[in-house]
Structure 1
């Protein structure tokens, strides 16, 4: 039996005591009057009980508590601090500071978010300005979509996502995706993969409530452009997993798969948490001509209540020749994640081809 893998450090440990000391040291370098002792005393108080986002907020709050400066003067100090920080994720406390203490100074604060996003991301912070004044904020973000810096362009798309993870939903944009359409149109062939991923994620958010709006838009895009085609493929991933005919057509898949599945299995069939499974099977074409296939798989994860919750994973998109046969496999570690806890019990695994379930197997996680 495979030896369980060592658990990765919790994400919240990005903001550990050593990192707080680093922040205090660099603050003292750019602002010699900084009260590092008071900052560290407050920032470390009850740190172990805080989540990663709570720790980020704690740093922002403690800086504000010990900086005897106006908001404008504090921003000058924090601008000097930003390039000295040794973690892009950690630097996100800087835009958090802006969101908490700068919403009275719209122009100054939006300019600060544009600057700070180059060192991490201002995606969470800008949403507070969108919630306060949607029209005015989107007007600024439309200009960001034209910026030469990829971090700023990404902020235009990522910050205005309707359902950004770890943040509140932007209900007006959820209800009316036309509000961010200009941003998405501007970025639909962006040269930066960092930006394209954000545009695709933004559109995938929209498919949850307005699938036809997304399909209408993408079907009118120049999909011969490789960057645009990449965005379209990833933006439609949820619809493709559901077997939506229009989404499948966009990526060149012609509907129901004409195939036979054999030798479908998960090995080992019984594991402990931290071990790895391998899903393997064969796909045999029953068609007289080539066909494009999208193969995914879903795991029904056991929940604490004893019920299950399905999660679909991408596996492979490929062209299968007439009467061709291909053997496929995918290995996956079954370990604790910040986004998923695992529970003992039988976990069904379903094979999806062009969105249709064509076979099932299972594995067991021991207590």
Structure 2
């Protein structure tokens, strides 16, 4: 391992660093002689280091507006020429952001532009501004996108209409009632593209957080003998499966109580310090006279700063266990601080779930220092 290997990865916001912004300026100048390069650079560079990733994206969109002299439609024509010249897919998302900022009063031009720009990066954040302004009209267009031959456009239909899209504002009406996006999800339930299917699954997973019965009612009616549709269902219901929801487990063929004995459950080492790794190991022995599908998860009861505990469920394994079979299951987990979890010393209990029910418990000690 070299010193370079030990260097921290650059922050994600450095996608929009000074070099990249100069690249955007150079390319924009090539497609539009009227583009004011100096004004664009001055607008974007000022306090760049203080800005987050999404703030930098918006700053670029605003800088393009400041540097382009034309009206909205003529500027969109310039940005259409600019899109294929940019050297990073995420960077092209500044172009649909321009549409969101300046195009809400020109619906048709803006919808056409978002469809075009999404093939270079994604218009998923920008289209939400139009959903918030006129949901029915925007969803009508997005339903046509769900039939498009281009997978990026089809994905825009499902990803842009997610009720809880990360890094964006929530679409509250869809959180309350997701039925307006059902035609989009239904059209894409057996999409040939894994890229699109993952988006459909994520949209349905959003819905399970507010309307689990609605999501289950739809999925249960789908043709789950289709491999792509079954994949969507499993990933859409992942949080319900972790909670041991009987309907969700039934959808993936694991709705029956597990007929197993859990043996030799152990955690090693039994005491660690922060930054070390534990190994969870046990055996599952079938007590059934038929093959079973088993969904095996585990929960770690993390000690909180207050001294209490909070459980976090992790996926472990899905397996087919034959009559009389014994399966060794092992999992390594590093106990390390990161942005969404800080660890505190104390006894951490671990529970093993099989088809949603606890079948065994063990514990490890996280030592201070």
**Matching residue of 1:166:** 167
Q: Contact (CA 8 Å) 1:141, 1:156: kept in 2 or not? A: yes
**Matching residue of 2:194:** 193
**Matching residue of 1:73:** 74
> Match of 1:257, SS?
coil
String of CA shifts for 1:31-60, please: whole Å, max 9, x gaps: 233232332232122222221111111111
> Match of 2:223, SS?
coil
Q: Contact (CA 8 Å) 1:300, 1:349: kept in 2 or not? A: yes
**Matching residue of 2:23:** 22
**Matching residue of 1:235:** 236
How far does residue 192 in structure 1 lie from its aligned partner after superposition? Answer: 0.3
> Match of 1:157, SS?
helix
CA distance in 1, matches of 2:60, 2:306: 36
Q: Contact (CA 8 Å) 1:267, 1:279: kept in 2 or not? A: no
How far does residue 349 in structure 1 lie from its aligned partner after superposition? Answer: 3.8
How far does residue 343 in structure 1 lie from its aligned partner after superposition? Answer: 3.9
**Matching residue of 1:105:** 106
CA distance in 2, matches of 1:212, 1:123: 26
Q: Contact (CA 8 Å) 2:336, 2:343: kept in 1 or not? A: no
How far does residue 97 in structure 1 lie from its aligned partner after superposition? Answer: 0.8
**Matching residue of 1:351:** 352
TM-score (norm 1): 0.90
Gaps in structure 2 of 5+ consecutive residues: none
Relative to structure 1, is the Cα distance of residues 269 and 55 closer, same or farther in structure 2, using a 3 angstrom cutoff?
Answer: farther
CA distance in 1, matches of 2:130, 2:22: 31
Q: Contact (CA 8 Å) 2:32, 2:78: kept in 1 or not? A: yes
Q: Contact (CA 8 Å) 1:82, 1:116: kept in 2 or not? A: yes
String of CA shifts for 1:62-101, please: whole Å, max 9, x gaps: 2212222211111111111111111111211111111011
Shifted more, 168-177 versus 357-366: the winner is 357-366
Q: State whether structure 2 residue 292 is matched by structure 1 residue 291.
A: yes
CA distance in 2, matches of 1:348, 1:277: 13
**Matching residue of 1:263:** 265
CA distance in 1, matches of 2:78, 2:322: 63
CA distance in 1, matches of 2:114, 2:271: 50
Number of aligned residues? 362
Q: Which has the higher contact order (CA 8 A, sep 6+)?
A: 1
TM-score (norm 2): 0.90
CA distance in 2, matches of 1:83, 1:268: 55
1:116-155 pair list within 5 angstroms: 116-155=117-156
Q: State whether structure 2 residue 17 is matched by structure 1 residue 12.
A: no
Q: Contact (CA 8 Å) 1:271, 1:364: kept in 2 or not? A: yes
Relative to structure 1, is the Cα distance of residues 236 and 22 closer, same or farther in structure 2, using a 3 angstrom cutoff?
Answer: same
CA distance in 1, matches of 2:252, 2:17: 45
String of CA shifts for 1:169-220, please: whole Å, max 9, x gaps: 1111111121111111111110000110011111111111221221121111
**Matching residue of 2:214:** 213
Gaps in structure 1 of 5+ consecutive residues: none
